[in-house]
Amino acid sequence: MRVTKRELHELIQTKLSRAGLSADHADVVADVLVHADARGLHSHGAMRVEYYAERIVKGGTNVNPRFVFEKTGPCSAVFDGDNGAGHVAAKQAMQEAVNIAKENGVSVVGVRRIGHSGSLSYYVQQAAREGLIGISVCQSDPMVVPFGGAEPYYGTNPIAFAAPGEGNALITFDMATTVQAWGKILHARSKHEPIPDTWAVDERGVRTDDPFKVHALLPISGPKGYGLMMMVDVLSGILLGLPFGNQVSSMYHDLTEGRNLGQLHIVINPSFFTDLDTFRHNISKTMCDLNGINPAPGFERVLYPGQNYDLIEQENEVNGIEIVAEVYDYLVSDVVHNNTYDHKDPFAT
């Protein structure tokens, strides 16, 4: 079924508030989740609400966090999220990174001790709307086999980038360092649909198309994705003095405990390197140039990176956002959570 952005935001905010999150924090989390659903990234949207609600109720999300922002140099800082809602900490930390970059040209802000923060595209677009380049990386559950390995070590460890073009134009790139994000498999489970057998392996290490048999994910492009997820883990874990690799806490292991995850924001002010108007013009020209390239056989057109999600978002502004029926039924129900996730393995249904 389809709902408007406003209705979806209100449903999510209400559910999270009933779970115990403050109205302000629930508003931010809802904003990030609706952003994902509007762009067709349902794996990071409303389907996550029940998990968040259960963790809030059981104490694993600090509903009264003491955020601490510490400048460690002219262009560097650390934001401690006190295991509050990751979305709120990540958004506030990005705003601090934006402020530093506007003044000093660049900024690197580490975000320590947070929970799951949703789609990284939200935060890099936050910087790009201010006329800046945004880059963000974060660590996640160990559920990916390293290249040549049979046991999970790293997480999906996503990377996101956004830059401003002319007017309101943004070019955005957001990817997991696995062939697909774990949330995409959750989405397939919610729809009871098979997955491509290039995404994941079963408990024997054999590729599977059954989302319910997934035991580990596969890195994108083999050793190249493996190297990228290592880089993300260093930048968002080891660099911030946090658990890393297979020490990173599982999303479902114990919902009474904070997850202590890390994220790193890098913001660059183009005006410190070139003429800003020229930079923005050339970003827009890049987008236009890519659209103008002759498509290969089997393709209707060439899209610039992230344009497929831009087009989905534009369509959903008109037609509403499609939500899986069982997710919608949960959102409109009186149930806060169904005790579904606690103490499950990383591949809980």
Q: Which residues are identified as catalytic?
A: 116
Backbone phi and psi for residue 137, each to the nearest 5 degrees, phi listed first = -135, 150
Instruction: Name 318's Cβ contacts closer than 8 Å, sequence gap at least 6.
Output: none
Number of H helices, E strands in the chain: 10, 11
From the list 331, 338, 333, 336, the residue with the least C-alpha distance to 3 is 331
**93 Cβ contact list (under 8 Å, min separation 6):** 69, 79, 81, 109, 111, 263, 265
Phi/psi of residue 106, each to 5°? -145, 160
Say if residue 121 is exposed, middle or buried (CB neighbours under 10 Å; 0-12, 13-18, 19+).
buried
Beta-carbon-side half-sphere exposure of residue 101 (alpha carbons within 13 Å): 26
Q: Which helix (H) or strand (E) holds 138?
A: strand 133-138
Rounded to an integer, what distance in angstroms lies between the CA atom of residue 176 and that of residue 48? 17
133-138 and 2-3 beta bridge pairing: unpaired
